[in-house]
Amino acid sequence: MTENKTLGLNPSEKTAMTAVIVNGLLTLAKFFLAQLTGSLALTAEALHSLTDVGTSLAVLFAVHIKPEGNADKEAQSPVRVYLKKNLQTVVALCIGLFLLWVALSVFLQAFSPVKMDLTYPVPAGLAMLGLALFSLLLSRLEAKVGGQEKATALVADSHHSKVDMLVSLLVAAALVGEGLGLSLDRAAALMIAGFVFFEACHVLVLVYRQTKNGHTPLEHPYPDWLQKLLSERLPVLRSRFCNAVWGTDTPSPKAMARAGKITTLAVIWVIICIYLAGGIFFVQPGELAIVERFGRPLQKEDPLGPGIHYALPWPIDQVRKVDALRVRRMVVGTEVSDKSPLFLWTNVHYIREFNLLTGENIFADTGIILNYRIGDPFAFLYTSGRPEENLREISQGVLLRKMARARFFDLVTTGRDELETALNREISALLKKNPLGIKLLSVNLRDIHPPTNVASAFEEVVGAAVDYETYINQAKGYENDLIPQARGQAAIRLKQAHSDGEKLVRKSRGESFRFLENQAQYRQNPQVEKKRLLLETMEGCLSGKDKFIMPSGEAGNVELFIIESAPGQIPGLGAETEGKTNRTRRVNLDELEG
């Protein structure tokens, strides 16, 4: 026996080596499919399969260093004894910690708000069915050889392969559901993460018990209920199925061959149906889709809108979807950091600078924001290999030309709106000449500032320019306020002059008319008119003066006495004031009339 072992590997070692190679290839295939599809559940299963590789390696070492008798036991080296004693514990600890990291990583990704777009879900699901079949065959091989060679490590590792098969079936079902429009990838990833988490906790508990109490660790890192399900319940269910179909636990080889053919045909038909059903796809609201048949687009002018559609499964047809209604945002030039506390020139508030020369040969860091959406899905997907990068290059070119023709102080004060309008107009014109399937909605000038090391000097100059414009605006405001007032006052005075002129003309006309009327009356009776004029004149002259009217000695005549006050004398007082007296003047009315 010893001679045969020196010449080659025994069956247990060959089986363990096969398990390592097969699990390694299955793990690589799962990682490839995960990268191809972007499935979170498939990524979780690929990470979980890494532990199968580690477990298979541990089984290989355990089988290789297992003693085969007292002679071999006595011939073992101290290193071999140490590995036999501590290998399982070390490997179990590493596997437990790795499984815990896998579970937490998948949990975080599953609850992430980032939308995951899966590609080729149905072909990947069919591939996972094939991988599940390989896991099943590997499990049976390990169980058979482990039973024959009495290698408990191989039997325990066969349970790993069974669990891997079940998880692969779960991932396959989730991928097929994704192909039919059902969002099952995150749910399957959460289920796998939960299973991996409990598996990690169980392994770490076993390691803790082994290191503390010295108990022999279990040969499988799964809970007891799962171990019983894999080793006891599944064989019982298989026996009941055989009894129900053939009436015996061990059907004849002919019956088994016939059942195998029927099962094979059924599996083939199920795979064909799943493959054909993979052509059903859903277009969500706001999306547009184009079907490619052998790489040639079928819908050029009229892409498929929201709803349920069918295309031939991969690799004949391929569906490309675009979110046509979502408004996208692109930063061109200086990219500003959202975490900057203050948006000042002197603060480093940018992630990446974009220096341009203005028309005055002044360096300025400029950044604009483009808001756009997909206007033509066919042009967006097939006209250019990278339409958004082309949009960025076009925008940078237009921004460079506009900045080279502008003055820096105009841009930071009053010319921002004009620059945004010009940028929007020219970029839209270039997009019409070079159709990229992109519709530009708006251009916003987010940031324009001088280099940070000279920003303080620019702030002073700009402050002076702002003061200059402020004083000019104040003067213009005063001018705009004063001139209308002067014009209003001039208009008022002009209208008042016209009114006074008309009033004087009318008054003169009235007086002349009255004079002519009096003249006619005077010619008829001169004495009466003279007396009237005399009385009116006296009324005007004697108004406000002290006077006495006394009858004279002659009948019908009166005399008028006017008291004239001396300087400094109060009128109406007979007493002397400052040595001066009043003077009395006698006026004969008859004499005045004569």
Euclidean distance between CA atoms 519 and 446, whole angstroms: 92
In the block, tokens 């002290």 appear at 546
Q: What is the pLDDT of residue 260?
A: 67
Asked whether the predicted pLDDT for residue 292 surpasses 60, the reply is: yes
**154-179 tens-digit pLDDT:** 776 777 777 778 888 888 888 888 87
DSSP state of 218: P
Say whether pTM exceeds 0.75.
Answer: no
**517-543 tens-digit pLDDT:** 878 877 887 877 777 777 778 777 777
Q: Which residue has the higher pLDDT, 372 or 542?
A: 372
Q: Which residue has the higher pLDDT, 362 or 328?
A: 328
When mean pLDDT is compared over 293-307, 394-408, 477-491, the highest value belongs to 477-491
DSSP state of 570: P
In the block, tokens 């209308």 appear at 484
Asked whether the predicted pLDDT for residue 153 surpasses 70, the reply is: no
H-run or E-run covering 371: strand 363-374
% of the chain at pLDDT higher than 90 = 3
Q: What is the pLDDT of residue 496?
A: 92
State the CB neighbour count (10 A cutoff) for residue 317: 16
Euclidean distance between CA atoms 317 and 571, whole angstroms: 128
Q: Do the domains spanning 2-247 and 331-450 agree at the CATH topology level?
A: no
Q: What is the pLDDT of residue 80?
A: 47
**548-569 tens-digit pLDDT:** 777 666 655 666 677 766 555 5
Name the residue ranges covered by the structural domains of the chain: 2-247, 283-323, 331-450, 454-524, 538-593
DSSP state of 549: E
Q: Fold for domain 331-450?
A: Tetrahydropterin Synthase; Chain A (3.30.479)
Euclidean distance between CA atoms 177 and 171, whole angstroms: 10
H-run or E-run covering 323: strand 317-323
Asked whether the predicted pLDDT for residue 76 surpasses 50, the reply is: no
* Cα first-last separation, the chain: 184
- Label residues 249-270 b or e (16+ Cβ within 10 Å = b): eebeeeeeeeeeeeeeeeeeee
> What Rg value do the Cα atoms of the chain yield, rounded?
56
Q: Fold for domain 2-247?
A: Alpha-lytic protease prodomain-like (1.20.1510)
Q: What is the pLDDT of residue 99?
A: 73
Q: What is the pLDDT of residue 553?
A: 61
Supply 154's token pair. 């191989």
Q: What is the SS3 assignment for 429-492?
A: HHHHHCCCCEEEEEEEEEEEECCHHHHHHHHHHHHHHHHHHHHHHHHHHHHHHHHHHHHHHHHH
The mean pLDDT value for 271-277 works out to 77
Does residue 21 contact residue 160 with C-beta atoms inside 8 Å? no
Q: What is the pLDDT of residue 65?
A: 58
**37-71 tens-digit pLDDT:** 888 888 888 887 877 787 777 777 766 655 444 44
List the single range of 42-46, 111-115, 317-321, 569-573 with lowest mean pLDDT.
569-573
The mean pLDDT value for 483-488 works out to 90
pLDDT averaged over every residue in the chain: 74
pLDDT class of 492 with cuts at 50, 70, 90: very high
Euclidean distance between CA atoms 395 and 445, whole angstroms: 12
Q: What is the pLDDT of residue 465?
A: 74
Q: What is the pLDDT of residue 442?
A: 87
Asked whether the predicted pLDDT for residue 108 surpasses 50, the reply is: yes
State the CB neighbour count (10 A cutoff) for residue 172: 25
Supply 450's token pair. 């001088």
Q: What is the pLDDT of residue 233?
A: 59
pLDDT class of 2 with cuts at 50, 70, 90: very low
pLDDT class of 314 with cuts at 50, 70, 90: confident
Asked whether the predicted pLDDT for residue 350 surpasses 80, the reply is: no
Asked whether the predicted pLDDT for residue 75 surpasses 50, the reply is: no
Q: What angle is formed at CA 395 by the lines to CA 389 and CA 399, rounded to 5 degrees?
A: 145
**208-243 tens-digit pLDDT:** 776 766 554 444 445 555 555 555 556 666 666 666
In the block, tokens 């004849």 appear at 252
CA distances from 532 to 281, 521, 579 (A): 121, 11, 41
Q: What is the pLDDT of residue 71?
A: 41
